[in-house]
Structure 1
Amino acid sequence: MISSPVDLSATTIAVAFAGVFLICFMKGAFGGGFSIVGIPLLSIVMDPVTAGGLLAPLFIAMDLFALFFWKPSTWSKPDLALLLPGLVVGIACGYLVFRFLDHRAIAIVMAVTTLIFVGIWFAGGGKINIRPRSTSKAITAGFASGVTTMVAHSGGPPLAMYLLPLGLTKEIYAGTTSLFFTVGNATKAVPWLLLVKPTMGVWKLMAICLLAIPAGVWLGWRLHGVLDQRQIYRTCYGLLIVTALKLLWDGISGYVA
């Protein structure tokens, strides 16, 4: 499919710039995984498929800049060793889902699963209960994240459902998430560009939006430094609700449109 033409008006540029800035801010603050919060802004001025084509290369630039802050000392290497193979396989499966199957159902299932996970956490008093590392859960989370990041630019919920119960420090949580999505976004960029085939207008808008990346990531990173461990975890769980509701809306509205 070819992305729809984009009108490079001042409104389009301003809205797209704001959307990319918001995604970068979330990446700086939490390491990534919540990029879907900026997509509703982009959807004001372009269709979701075009937004996906715009974001796919930008994610790589965001990730590379974010790694200046989330250095190797903040990566949980044992968890990444378990998560990354499933992520790559999940992206490949997500590509097939996007082309041949109903990705709206995937969005709905992931949204409901995420809401149940968050509901259980809040019902338990919102405590950080540390659970042991699980190979099977890590592989499942990596795979599910790969599928959902490919079909909906929202691989955060499965990863968070695995990492948050481990009780990692806020720096290790953010750094591990950042590297995870650096690998994921680099892997899915080519499949997305093959699916969407951005127009010249999209490429021009992409170049403009690159300017939002440094300030957005840096400001998010500064916020991360201000918040304490409990605030970071509460915010992440809150963002999971926002992400799940957006996924649920996308899935259901796709059936009734």
Structure 2
Amino acid sequence: MELTAVTLIVAFAGVFLICFMKGAFGGGFAIVGIPILSLVMDPITAGGLLAPLFVAMDVYSLRYWKPSTWSRPDLFRLVPGLVLGIGVGFLLFRVLDHRAIAIVMAAVTLVFVGLWFRAGGEVKVQPRSSGKAVAAGITSGITTMVAHSGGPPLAIYLLPLGLSKQVYAGTTSMFFTVGNLLKAGPWLLLARPTGNVLSLTGVCLLAVPCGVWLGWRLHTRLDQRQMYRACYGLLVVTALKLLWDGISGYLG
């Protein structure tokens, strides 16, 4: 990968968008910024670039998503599955059909959002389920490891709980803080970034403070209903991106 001005600008823009999503919604929408990065690098290189940047975003975000914004009962249910899912994703990274995973995850997400809109687009609180939490954690772990798309499974579990916007974002942020710390090592082993990639990582670090802060500013301006509608809308965008990745992978 050549470190040209275009590469610097495009990569910085992609990382900035991911940071913005982290500040506004707690994370889980990294895949929204992946298309920008894919303009100048392959997916494996992007994974190696993002692995340490995710950790930097998470650490910086702790100044906004403090422990008071975490739903501990849900994290206790979700995190064990997340750990298992990341381990499975790493072990099977070379043999898993990423295209099929993307298509299935897109279909499930679109059905989930479609049912929400069909019900009137209102938050109807559902009881917690340890089984659903474990399934969401495992699925999120696998998809975040193989495709940086762990957001939809987590959102499918958390959104029906009707958490306050701060607790939803804080819980999401802490969940992915754990996940990104766990997958940083495996991704660095898979990508083995050197030279220009490491230099580009250093440049993109500058996007973290301003991106997260601007996202957090948006979060403070959204009311509860707007926050949930934005999350469901972003799930549609994420699902369509996953669907495109999966289908184009087969056609290509």
Match of 2:152 among 148, 157, 181: 157
Partner of 2:191 in structure 1?
196
What stretches of structure 2 of length at least 5 have no aligned partner? none
Partner of 2:4 in structure 1?
9
After TM superposition, give the deviation of residue 101 of structure 1 in Å: 2.3
- Paired amino acid for 2:22: K
State the TM-score, normalizing by the size of structure 2. Answer: 0.99
Report the Cα distance in structure 2 between the residues aligned to 1:219 and 1:103, rounded to whole angstroms. Answer: 32
1:100-156 deviations in whole A, cap 9, x for unaligned? 221221111111100000000011110100000100000000000000000110100
Report the Cα distance in structure 1 between the residues aligned to 2:103 and 2:193, rounded to whole angstroms. Answer: 27
1:126 aligns with 2:117: no
Match of 1:47 among 37, 42, 46: 42
1:11-39 deviations in whole A, cap 9, x for unaligned? 10001001000000000000000011001
After the TM superposition, which residues 59-138 of structure 1 pair with which residues of structure 2 at under 5 Å, given as runs?
59-138=54-133
- Paired amino acid for 1:174: A
- Paired amino acid for 1:171: Q
- Paired amino acid for 1:12: T
1:176 aligns with 2:161: no
Identity of aligned residues (%): 72
Q: Is the 8 A contact 1:35 1:153 kept in 2?
A: yes
Corresponding residue SS for 2:93: helix
After TM superposition, give the deviation of residue 98 of structure 1 in Å: 1.4
Partner of 2:141 in structure 1?
146
Partner of 2:211 in structure 1?
216
Report the Cα distance in structure 2 between the residues aligned to 1:214 and 1:100, rounded to whole angstroms. Answer: 37
Name the count of aligned residue pairs.
252
- Paired amino acid for 1:246: K
After TM superposition, give the deviation of residue 197 of structure 1 in Å: 1.1
Q: Is the 8 A contact 1:84 1:142 kept in 2?
A: yes
Q: Which moved more, 1:88-97 or 1:134-143?
A: 88-97
Q: Is the 8 A contact 1:20 1:212 kept in 2?
A: yes
Please report the RMSD computed on the Cα atoms of aligned residues, expressed in angstroms: 0.7
State the TM-score, normalizing by the size of structure 1. Answer: 0.97
Report the Cα distance in structure 2 between the residues aligned to 1:92 and 1:192, rounded to whole angstroms. Answer: 12
After TM superposition, give the deviation of residue 49 of structure 1 in Å: 1.5
Partner of 1:3 in structure 2?
none
Report the Cα distance in structure 2 between the residues aligned to 1:139 and 1:100, rounded to whole angstroms. Answer: 24
Report the Cα distance in structure 1 between the residues aligned to 2:218 and 2:5, rounded to whole angstroms. Answer: 29
1:146-177 deviations in whole A, cap 9, x for unaligned? 00000110100000000000000000000000
Partner of 1:252 in structure 2?
247
Runs (4+) of structure 1 moved beyond 4 Å? none
After TM superposition, give the deviation of residue 196 of structure 1 in Å: 1.2
Match of 2:51 among 56, 59, 68: 56
After TM superposition, give the deviation of residue 200 of structure 1 in Å: 1.1
What stretches of structure 1 of length at least 5 have no aligned partner? 1-5
Q: Is the 8 A contact 1:97 1:103 kept in 2?
A: no
